Amino acid sequence: MSYYKKYSEQIETFVKVCHQLSANKYVTGFGGNAAWKMEDNVLLITPTQMNKGDIQHDDVVFINLKGEKLEGKNRPTGETPMYMNFFNERPDVQSVVHCHPPYTNAFTITKGDNHLMRPLFPETITEVGPVPVVPFAQPLTQELADNFLPFLQKYNAFLMENHGLVILSPLDIKWTMMNTELLEMTSLHIHSAIVHGDIKEVSREEVRAMDAIMTGRNLPFMGAPGVNNSLEDVFYPEG
């Protein structure tokens, strides 16, 4: 059976996310991409050189974990090497969104503190976690893909220096898109708060207490399974 028929419902959801990225102005031109694991060796991924607002059902591409096309009229995104690292190094990952939301992206080009590494709001603490900066490399290269490797086991969200945002998760593409919107709103609040003075963080004690939220809502800790066992591990790796 064609993957297009087998996963028609998922494609519809995936296309809606692509359109939402465009409507939110999180992507412009041909920028951004996304992927969603359908099976252990089957990924649904965006095509190269298409505006995400224009993508339709038949435009998406199916590839395997070697980056080889399984089905589709288009070529997969040029950032496929990056996705191969994500899904091969983190088998728990189900979906990924890469985009350029403007308030979050401001932190990819600033030299000051990366406030997105700190615990600021309960929802961002429990659903996104810290967002480290991955060193710059040319887009579409294996070098860029490999620059994620030192961070990939510990975190689920990443700022690509002078480039954009990547969020991945062990849940579906809708969840990853919601986390993208959550992080962008957090970034907007940070930019607004800076006008009024220093940024105030949630205390370490309160971060520790939020493990109850993780348990109560059955939320996975950031990073590969077993790497972080508490939010304190996530935000205070130094111990």
Grade residue 239 by pLDDT with cuts at 50, 70 and 90: low
The total number of structural domains in the chain stands at 1
Amino acid identity of 66?
A: K
Q: Where are the alpha helices (DSSP H) in the chain?
A: 3-6, 8-23, 80-89, 102-105, 122-127, 142-147, 149-152, 173-194, 204-209, 211-216, 231-235
Rounded (to 5) percent helix, strand, coil in the chain: 40, 15, 45
What is the CA angle 6-75-48, rounded to 5? 110
Q: What is the CATH number of the domain that holds 208?
A: 3.40.225.10
Contact 120, 198 (CB under 8 A): no
Beta-bridge partners for 42 = 39
- The whole-model pTM stands at 0.96
Domain containing 41 equals: 3-235
Q: What is the pLDDT of residues 122-162, one digit of tens each?
A: 999 999 999 999 999 999 999 999 999 999 999 999 999 99
Q: What is the pLDDT of residues 50-95, one digit of tens each?
A: 999 999 999 999 999 999 999 999 999 999 999 999 999 999 999 9
Those residues whose C-beta lies under 8 Å from the C-beta of residue 201, and which sit 6 or more positions away, are 118, 119, 120
